[in-house]
């Protein structure tokens, strides 16, 4: 189960009250007593399994509202989304700056000025991967204060009607300047990404590897993805020119458009209920546009 801001603020008050009541009903256990009779407590924003069960979440995104009441500011509300995924879901990790955008620094600035600074073909590729049953997780070293702006950019990306698939957005819980310095100046975003992705990986069974593939734009991203178990054959990095490189075969340069043509091979269909990833499989080149199988006399083969 993952969190990120929601697309709209139309969440119901009942969901907010239910969340608040569930937290109050089951307080988190206190830490073991220390120094005799002294008892210490630890704050946590994570719900227990029983508290999560009381929310009655549905598969996929669930819009919720968090609220806090203070004496001077009254009640403040923050909309968000809780994602409920299956234990056997396959996750594709995607960086944002330099991966969806064409550069790290300009990718944060130019979209705010209305300029499209997105790699061509990435929306179509991600949409095709999502259609084959894979979940998307957007992980960036941007500061948590840029959540609204980053979420707005992901919703704004549109390639001739094709948009990016919806997924959790994980941002660094630090200030804007420290996150910008770590991402652009130091160029060490892997510190946050390794901790964040390992935390998400621990939500799944120890024997399961939830991360299927990953997209980045730097060697630091490759290092972080390999640390959390993503196989190098499904780690892709893109440069400002839009050239896509597979980590295992670095000499072979491709593109988002080219990978879209091979998406059925690299990201095969996961759903067992469907027999093809085509919209109309009965008219595919395999089923329709081919010569009929010749009739064979089985008696002559005996």
In tens, the pLDDT along 151-198 reads 888 888 888 889 999 999 988 876 655 655 555 556 666 778 898 899
Q: Which of 224, 216, 206, 259 is nearest to 87 (CA)?
A: 206
Looking at the DSSP bridge assignments, the partners of residue 94 are 138, 215
User: What is the mean predicted confidence (pLDDT) over 110-127?
Assistant: 76
Tell me what pLDDT residue 51 has. 87
For 81-95, write each residue's pLDDT tens digit: 889 999 889 999 999
Distance from C-alpha of 285 to C-alpha of 13, rounded to nearest angstrom: 51
Torsions phi, psi of 103, nearest 5? -155, 165
Beta-ladder partners of 70: 74
For 86-269, CATH gives: 3.40.50.1000
Contact 176, 143 (CB under 8 A): yes
At 191 the pLDDT is 79
Structure tokens given for 93? 């990790």
Residues 199, 220: Cα–Cα separation, whole Å: 18
Are the C-beta atoms of residues 126 and 100 closer than 8 Å to each other?
no
pLDDT digits (tens, 9 = 90+) for 197-256: 999 999 898 888 999 999 998 888 999 999 999 998 899 999 888 899 998 888 888 999
Is pLDDT above 80 for 8? no
Positions of CATH 3.40.50.1000 in the chain: 86-269
CA 100/CA 90 separation, integer angstroms? 20
């Amino acid at each position: 189960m993952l969190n990120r801001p929601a697309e709209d603020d139309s969440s119901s008050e009942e969901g907010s009250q239910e969340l608040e009541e569930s937290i109050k009903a089951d307080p988190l256990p206190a830490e073991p007593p220390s120094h005799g009779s002294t008892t210490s407590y630890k704050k946590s924003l994570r719900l227990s399994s029983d508290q999560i069960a009381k929310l009655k979440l549905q598969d996929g995104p669930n819009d919720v509202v968090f609220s806090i009441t203070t004496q001077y500011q009254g009640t403040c509300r923050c909309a968000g989304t809780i994602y409920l995924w299956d234990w056997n879901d396959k996750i594709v990790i995607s960086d944002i700056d330099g991966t969806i955008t064409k550069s790290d620094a300009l990718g944060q600035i130019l979209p705010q000025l209305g300029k499209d600074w997105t790699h061509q073909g990435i929306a179509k590729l991600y949409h095709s991967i999502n259609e084959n049953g894979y979940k998307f997780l957007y992980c960036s070293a941007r500061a948590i204060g840029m959540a609204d702006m980053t979420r707005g950019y992901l919703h704004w990306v549109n390639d001739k009607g094709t948009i990016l698939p919806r997924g959790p957005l994980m941002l660094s819980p630090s200030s804007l300047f420290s996150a910008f310095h770590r991402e652009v100046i130091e160029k060490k975003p892997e510190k946050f990404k390794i901790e964040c992705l390992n935390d998400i990986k621990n939500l799944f069974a120890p024997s399961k590897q939830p991360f299927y593939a990953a997209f980045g734009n730097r060697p630091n991203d490759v290092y972080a993805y390999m640390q959390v178990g993503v196989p190098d054959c499904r780690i892709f990095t893109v440069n400002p020119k839009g050239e896509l490189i597979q980590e295992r075969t670095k000499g072979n340069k491709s593109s988002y458009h080219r990978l879209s043509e091979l998406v059925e091979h690299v990201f095969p269909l996961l759903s067992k209920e469907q027999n093809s990833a085509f919209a109309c499989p009965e008219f595919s080149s395999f089923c329709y546009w081919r010569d009929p199988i010749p009739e064979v006399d089985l008696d002559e083969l005996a």
